Amino acid sequence: MKEGSDRIVRYCTSKATLAIWGVIAVCMSFQFGCTRGPTEPGITEPRNYRWQIDTVAIPGEVISMNCIWGSSPADIYIGGNRSTWSIASLFHYDGNSWTPVTFATVYDFGNIFAMTGFGPNDIYTVGARFDTGTDSSVIMHFGRSQWVEQHVTNGRALLSVWGSSPSDVWTGGHAGTLFHSDGATWSRVTVDPRLDVKSISGMASNDIYLLGTHVNDDVNYYLNYTVLYHYDGAKWRIIDSMSVASSQFGTRFGEAKLGYIGGTLYSVGYGIYAMHSDGWQKVLNTDYAIQWLYASSQSTAFAVGQGSLIYYFDGQSWEQLTNVVGSGHSLRGAWATATDAFIVGSNDLQTDRTLVLHGR
């Protein structure tokens, strides 16, 4: 196909999906590109990626995926739920097609909100069950050959997970729920019960940040606060905060997601912010909310969000990629290497299916 030519539309079916679900998952791929500039031999600069759009759909089901993680471009997972029965669900990409993952323990009325990993045989997903009258914590771990639930008690929905190593993993969520794993056992960590953990990120086991909301009043939204905690290896402390009402306008720092690029901590929300020794600097303003930040290196990072927002960071500056997908998409997660980028989301007018954008 010539660059800049019309989209190529391809339909395919997954036999694995047919075998497991008894239905056909249709993958629709749209490929298009833009003019290429000079790059290193064998490496395409992300501004010049050609993008393929895969649709993950099951007839009669609503497929809503919230997160993405991979160990390589041929080993990618997306997680969320099938909302016909609200079944927590994963799909796996092997470099050719997307297929549903079978859990050893299936949990209905649930959802997967976040995932992380340390290799193809050491992966965590976190989320919730909703069949107990309230939301309760669920942690699944993949090791070697299957997904196994790692049981924790007295926890609410888990929204974020991060680890500095397989022996130092943190996950947190609603109503002061925060757990830590040493690789063998999960332990409950005491924090303010008003805290809803939204994001965790760090550089080392004694240098971790946590972004969340202090819910003071569920009715009066303006009494709630976005808070930033820091962990020094011994204790979690609040180091910054702002009212939820002001966070909509990005007056101090991003309220949605944390992430490191190189040695700098970033936060995203209605804009992109970098943390320096003298405080937060707003480096980019956006009209729509950014929901996810991922960096594969200090010179390759992606921020994605509502309104089809995709921003790329090359180590020096942020640039919006506007030729990837049409308007009206909510993009919820990204994962990348030096050669590939994957972004998961949905079309606002076709909410029964999930889209995965693959650039390379």
Query: Could you write out the three-class secondary structure of the chain?
Result: CCCCCCCEEEEEECHHHHHHHCCCCEEEEEEECCCCCCCCCCCCCHHHCCEEEEEECCCCCCEEEEEEEEEECCEEEEEEEECCCCEEEEEEECCCCEEECCCCCCCCCEEEEEEEEEECCEEEEEEEECCCCCCEEEEEEEECCEEEECCCCCCCCEEEEEEEECCEEEEEECCCCEEEECCCCEEECCCCCCEEEEEEEEEECCEEEEEEEECCCCCCHHHCEEEEEEECCCCEEEEEEEEHHHHCCCCCCCCCEEEEECCEEEEEECEEEEEECCEEEEEECCCCCEEEEEEEECCEEEEEECCCCEEEECCCCEEECCCCCCCCEEEEEEEECCCCEEEEEEECCEEEEEEEEEEC
Cβ atoms of 34 and 4 within 8 Å: the answer is yes
Taking residues 174-178, what's their average pLDDT?
94
Tens digits of per-residue pLDDT, 46-66?
A: 788 999 999 998 888 889 999
pLDDT at 88: 86
Higher pLDDT, 25 or 320: 320
pLDDT at 17: 31
pLDDT at 218: 56
Higher pLDDT, 11 or 213: 213
In the predicted structure, residue 34 carries a pLDDT above the cut 60: no
pLDDT at 2: 29
In the predicted structure, residue 74 carries a pLDDT above the cut 70: yes
pLDDT at 61: 86
Lowest mean pLDDT across 87-96, 144-153, 287-296: 144-153
CA nearest to 254, candidates 219, 215, 230, 280: 280
Cβ atoms of 317 and 305 within 8 Å: the answer is no
In the predicted structure, residue 18 carries a pLDDT above the cut 60: no
In the predicted structure, residue 79 carries a pLDDT above the cut 90: yes
In the chain, the largest separation of any two C-alpha atoms, in whole Å, equals 58
What is the percent of the chain where pLDDT is above 90?
61
CA nearest to 70, candidates 256, 296, 327: 296
Fold observed for domain 8-359: Methylamine Dehydrogenase; Chain H (2.130.10)
Lowest mean pLDDT across 22-31, 59-68, 98-107, 257-266: 22-31
pLDDT at 142: 93
Tens digits of per-residue pLDDT, 281-308?
A: 999 999 899 999 999 999 999 999 999 9
Across the chain, mean pLDDT equals: 83
d(CA 195, CA 175): 6
d(CA 287, CA 347): 18
pLDDT classification of 126: cutoffs 50, 70, 90: very high
pLDDT at 316: 93
pLDDT at 92: 96
pLDDT at 310: 96
Strand partners, 148: 141
In the predicted structure, residue 33 carries a pLDDT above the cut 70: no
What is the percent of the chain where pLDDT is above 70?
81
Q: Say how far residue 44 (Cα) sits from the centre of its chain.
A: 24
Lowest mean pLDDT across 80-94, 181-195, 213-227: 213-227
- What is the reported pTM? 0.85
Higher pLDDT, 266 or 132: 266
Instruction: Name the residue with tokens 């912010």.
Output: 273
